[in-house]
Amino acid sequence: MSAASRMRLRGLVRKEFCQILRDPSSIAIAFLLPVILLLIFGYGISLDTEHVPVAIVVDQPDGDTAGLTARFLGSSYFSPVFVRDIGQAEESLMGRRVNAIIHLQPDFSRRLQRPDGAPIQVIVNGTDANTARLVMGYVQGVWQNWLSRRAAESGGVLAAPLQLDQRVWFNSELRSRNFLVPGLIAIIMTLIGGLLTALVMAREWERGTMEALLVTPVTMGEVLVGKILPYFLLGLGGMALSVAMGLWLFGVPLLGSAWLLFAVSSLFLLAALGMGLLISIATKNQFVAGTVAIVTTFLPAFLLSGFIFDIGSMPVVVQAITRVLPARYFVAALQTIFLAGNVWSVVLPNAAALAAFAVIFLGASRQKLRKRLD
Amino acid sequence: MSPDPAAEVVLELRGVSKRFPSGPRVAEALRGVTLEVQRGRVTGLIGPDGAGKTTLMRLAVGLLAPDEGRVMVLGHDATRESQTVQSSVGYMPQRFGLYEDLTVQENLDLYSDLQGVPGADRKARYAELMRMTGLARFTARLAGRLSGGMKQKLGLACTLVRPPRLLLLDEPTVGVDPVSRRELWQIVYRLVREEKMTVLLSTAYLDEAERCDEIALLHGGEILGRGRPADFRDPLRGRSFAVSAPGVGKRALQKALSALPGVLDAVIQADSVRVVTREGAGPEGLAAGWPGAVIEPVPPRLEDAFVTLLSSRERHRAPARAQGQGSHPARGPARTGPVIEVRDVNRRFGDFYAVRHASFEVASGEVFGLLGPNGAGKSTTFRMLCGLLPASEGTLRVAGLDLRHAASAARARIGYMSQKFSLYGNLSVSDNLRFFSSAYDLAGARQRERIGWALEQFELSEFAEAAAHDLSLGHKQRLAMACSLMHEPEILFLDEPTSGVDPLARREFWSRINALAETGVTILVTTHFMEEAEYCDRLAIMADGEVLALGEPSDIKRAQGAPGHPAPTMEEAFISLIEGRAKGGQSS
């Protein structure tokens, strides 16, 4: 690199930083948005079902029913309310004050003594099928638990043909936050790399500054590096902020190594920057560039990356589409690095895919960015 | 008109053509252009919008490649050796290429880095440039906060951080006040003199062309003529006259004169009518019919030459056509008293005064001009008069209605034509007319009648089904004016209606304005063409939100006359007014 080239690059990078620092929207996208998104997803939205309001109806209270309802009271999954009769419970369910009714009928204790056991009636609001299924599972769990505990206390063995002993790996607490936060990092970096870069480059075309740049001795490679370098650093800043918040505010574990996280993020950031640049070079207009960037980078990263919705359960066609999304590979690698550690068999293929995207998009940008206006 | 063969050619175009795809068709921006720019001269590239000026500039710096022909700059092919060419030319694009969120100093530093100016040389060069442009006090200011004239000078300074051998300036004076324009020209000539620079400058202003050493007239992608300004003017010697007739209205006189067979061009200039006669026709016929008419020979202007050249090419487009018979139905008895009344109006945006203590009145049937550079407050005044923006203080009355209480009633009686023409580009001409007439509550037979009137009067019938964006600029202007007249308004507001159109289209446009004024329509027009100010009955000169002068054009000019210079041009009067105000501001 010649001295003149270094001087030009220094000028471009310095200019870009001045612009970033003076433009509140860049700062907002890079630093404020990550904080807001993390707070929303970290505190507000949770895919776990906890403290489900349930109405418990006990028609004939005695020792057995008290033991069982105590289990519900003690579980963090439920926040039970006791109601007098089934009619009142149904009213609460209709009024959406509770999600389920647990009904212990008058002959509960008597039938419990019989070999075929006692039934409990569970009525669940099925509007939200996902929550309904979870609630049914939880009730089942509490019921089984109570039965076996009761059997052990009375010295007998529960007459069950098979005991299921579950163990969850990688996110042993099954906290959805733990896999949402790594996914969010991908979203935030997509915004900085794709959207912000597309906008600032299109702005140069729109305001006529690109025309003035093109007639200086600057090379197109320098123009590209001059854009990539500042936004790469900005993207890493946004990522560092998100990781710090994830680790220390939300207690997400980082089982893999920090340097691997940095390396994979860098690859993804390059791919996102390449996409952003390519969009702005093709559109040369902030409004179009912004719209295209949101539709082709941000929305797919949100919906199709596996960040929230499991790719495996998508229709085959949609699954095929996710294969051309860099975010998909990044989310997979991130979730592995955070929750499972440096699992090379997962990280390496994903990293290779990201590297390929980076080369393709940056190469195409370089190819399309000409020192010509026609 | 042939260039001096001994002079060294710095920029040479040989048979250059350039086409751009434009929808399904191809637009020919340049057609077989041949041009030489010689060392140490200021060459002006003169032409209206769409003539191909910017395309030519971009070809010269290698931003575009020609479809045919070749472009050589300092002995290098601008297309194949663009990097070499770009390292020895300076180019200021139309919007100056400044980063508005960087300070003056940061812009200079950036362009020094890009141009490879060694650190050791910078201090002296910056000092020189700041002295030249007068920006030294503003180095810490953001470029976006500079006035138009200061931006233009900063743009120029940025292209000069490394002294180029060839300097290309694309419409550097658009929207800039006359004082800044004059300063730019002083800088350009100093560069030529002291730094041996060669300059190619494009402009749509013909008065600026007079200041060039050489000019090339560009029209519709072709060079109409090349040479020194005098080469264009001299053949018209003895054919330019100022005609005045006591007791005859200047508009009536202009209309009658332009209908004479021996007259090629007739335009109003202050109190008289400026006439260019056809080749061979003398001044004898001009006085016919007006006893006591005074005919004085005047030195020809470049504009006369341009109009002559254009009308000989486009015989079907007769200049200054007489318009008006029934063009606008005669209205009732003229209103007595002022039609537009602006009294002590302020308009503030935060703590910034866009208009300050403005007061003027416009009488019925008057053509009233608002003259001033960008940012003078013309558009703000216009928006207030159209009831689109309330005044912060003061009284605004239009057609006898107070805009504070009856803005929408007033709006029904005014027509408005905006700078950008506000047409629906993908609708046809007749659809545009239909839409705008229905927006003013016209329907049924009345609407059909008005659309028919507009198509006929504005000679748009043959384009009735063409999409508006496919029209030429002059035709777009006609359509925009027709749209603003569909509801037969009493008052017509025209916001810079002629910027960028060629002199013939401008003349035609003004003949329509004059015809309307004769039917009693009151016309308020903004412009930054100094010669158009002369066409107005009265005008207000605005700068920085204040009305600096108000009156008839000849009175305004006379008031600014100096003992040694009793008859200044409108531009000189303008500059003297602005400078007088600056001095007054310092002393008070």
Residue B452 lies in a domain: no
Domain identity same for A92 and A64 = yes
* CATH assignment at residue B283: 3.30.70.100
Q: What is the DSSP string of B54-100?
A: HHHHHHHTTSS--SEEEEEETTEETTTTHHHHHTTEEEE-TTTT--T
What single-letter DSSP state applies at residue B278?
P
Higher pLDDT, B561 or B326: B561
Q: Please identify, among B232, B253, B280, the residue that sits at the C-terminal boundary of a domain.
A: B232
Residue B165 lies in a domain: yes
Q: Which of residues 113-142 of B touch A (CB under 8 A)?
A: 113-116
Q: Please identify, among B196, B216, B232, the residue that sits at the C-terminal boundary of a domain.
A: B232
Summarised one tens digit per residue, pLDDT across range B455-489 is 998 888 888 888 888 887 788 888 999 999 999 99
Summarised one tens digit per residue, pLDDT across range B247-258 is 777 788 888 888
Percent of chain B exceeding pLDDT 70 equals 93
Q: What is the DSSP string of B459-521?
A: T-GGGTTSBGGGS-HHHHHHHHHHHHTTT--SEEEEESTTTT--HHHHHHHHHHHHHHHHTT-
* Residue A189 token pair: 């970096």
Domain identity same for A72 and A105 = yes
Q: How confident is the model at residue B544 (pLDDT cuts 50, 70, 90)?
A: confident
Domain identity same for A13 and A126 = no
List Cα–Cα distances, A110 to A69, A88, B6, in angstroms.
Answer: 17, 25, 123
Instruction: Count how many domains chain B has.
Output: 3
Domain identity same for A313 and A209 = yes
B20 contacts A374? CB cut-off 8 A:
yes
CA-based nearest distance A11→chain B, Å: 5
Residue B409 lies in a domain: yes
A22 contacts B116? CB cut-off 8 A:
no
For residue B44, the model assigns a pLDDT of 94
* Residue among B61, B87, B113 minimizing CB distance to A10: B113
A19 contacts B115? CB cut-off 8 A:
no
How many contacts (CB atoms, under 8 Å) link A and B?
Answer: 85
Domain identity same for B125 and B239 = no
For residue B472, the model assigns a pLDDT of 78
Main-chain phi, psi angles of B40, to 5 degrees: 70, 15
Burial B204-221 (b: 16+ CB within 10 A, else e): bbbbbbbbbebbbbbbbb
Domain identity same for B353 and B395 = yes
For A146, the domain range is 52-153
Residue B114 lies in a domain: yes
For residue B336, the model assigns a pLDDT of 66
Residue A2 lies in a domain: no
Domain identity same for A179 and A33 = yes
Domain identity same for A255 and A227 = yes
What interface predicted TM-score (ipTM) does this complex get? 0.77
Mean pLDDT, rounded, for B483-511: 86
Residue A99 lies in a domain: yes
Q: Which of residues 146-205 of B touch A (CB under 8 A)?
A: 158-159
**In A82-208, alpha helices (H):** 86-94, 108-112, 129-153, 176-190, 197-206
Residue B538 lies in a domain: yes
Domain identity same for B225 and B353 = no
Residue B459 lies in a domain: no
* Residue among B65, B94, B99 minimizing CB distance to A374: B65
Mean pLDDT, rounded, for B107-117: 94
A-chain residues within 8 Å CB-CB of B112? Answer: 11
d(CA B237, CA A253): 91
B-chain residues within 8 Å CB-CB of A20? Answer: none
* Residue B511 token pair: 């003949």
Lowest mean pLDDT among B69-83, B232-246, B354-368, B557-571: B557-571
For B61, the domain range is 9-232
Residue B460 lies in a domain: no
Q: Please identify, among B199, B232, B265, the residue that sits at the C-terminal boundary of a domain.
A: B232
Summarised one tens digit per residue, pLDDT across range B14-44 is 999 999 887 667 888 999 999 999 999 999 9
Domain identity same for B51 and B182 = yes
Whether B588 has a pLDDT exceeding 60, the answer reads no
Residue A72 lies in a domain: yes
Domain identity same for B121 and B160 = yes
Domain identity same for A314 and A179 = yes
Summarised one tens digit per residue, pLDDT across range A237-294 is 888 988 998 889 888 889 999 999 999 999 999 999 999 999 999 998 899 999 999 9
Q: Which of B296, B319, B277 is nearest to B507 (CA)?
A: B319
B-chain residues within 8 Å CB-CB of A207? Answer: 95, 100
For residue B124, the model assigns a pLDDT of 94
CA-based nearest distance A285→chain B, Å: 16
Q: Which of residues 208-247 of A touch B (CB under 8 A)?
A: 208-209, 211-218
Neighbours of B231 (CB within 10 A): 15
Could you tell me the sign of the dihedral formed by the alpha carbons of B497, B499, B505, B507, in that order? positive
Q: Are strands B263-269 and B272-277 parallel, antiparallel or unpaired?
A: antiparallel
Domain identity same for A189 and A316 = yes
Domain identity same for B158 and B224 = yes
* Residue among B64, B98, B109 minimizing CB distance to A11: B109
Domain identity same for A198 and A323 = yes
Domain identity same for A191 and A311 = yes
Domain identity same for A62 and A28 = no
For residue A170, the model assigns a pLDDT of 64
A14 contacts B110? CB cut-off 8 A:
yes
pLDDT along chain A (374 residues), means of 10: 90 94 85 85 67 87 84 84 87 86 85 75 81 81 81 66 61 68 84 87 90 90 93 90 88 90 94 94 91 90 83 87 91 90 92 96 92 80
* CATH assignment at residue B379: 3.40.50.300
Instruction: Count how many domains chain A has.
Output: 2
d(CA B114, CA B126): 15
d(CA B496, CA A293): 38
* Residue among B61, B101, B113 minimizing CB distance to A7: B113
Domain identity same for A259 and A279 = yes
* Residue among B58, B106, B115 minimizing CB distance to A217: B115
CA-based nearest distance A199→chain B, Å: 15
Domain identity same for B345 and B383 = yes
Q: Do the Cβ atoms of B18 and B64 come closer than 8 Å?
A: yes
CA-based nearest distance B20→chain A, Å: 8
Q: How confident is the model at residue B587 (pLDDT cuts 50, 70, 90)?
A: very low
Q: Do the Cβ atoms of B524 and B372 come closer than 8 Å?
A: no
CA-based nearest distance B66→chain A, Å: 10
C-alpha neighbours within 13 Å on the C-beta side of residue A268: 34
CA-based nearest distance A6→chain B, Å: 9
A-chain residues within 8 Å CB-CB of B159? Answer: 212
Of all residues in chain B, the one with the smallest CA distance to A209 is B97
* Residue among B64, B95, B114 minimizing CB distance to A216: B114
Domain identity same for B215 and B253 = no
Domain identity same for B514 and B575 = yes
* CATH assignment at residue A121: 3.40.1710.10
Q: Does A370 touch chain B (CB under 8 A)?
A: no
What single-letter DSSP state applies at residue B144?
G
Of all residues in chain B, the one with the smallest CA distance to A17 is B102
A-chain residues within 8 Å CB-CB of B101? Answer: 18-19, 22-23
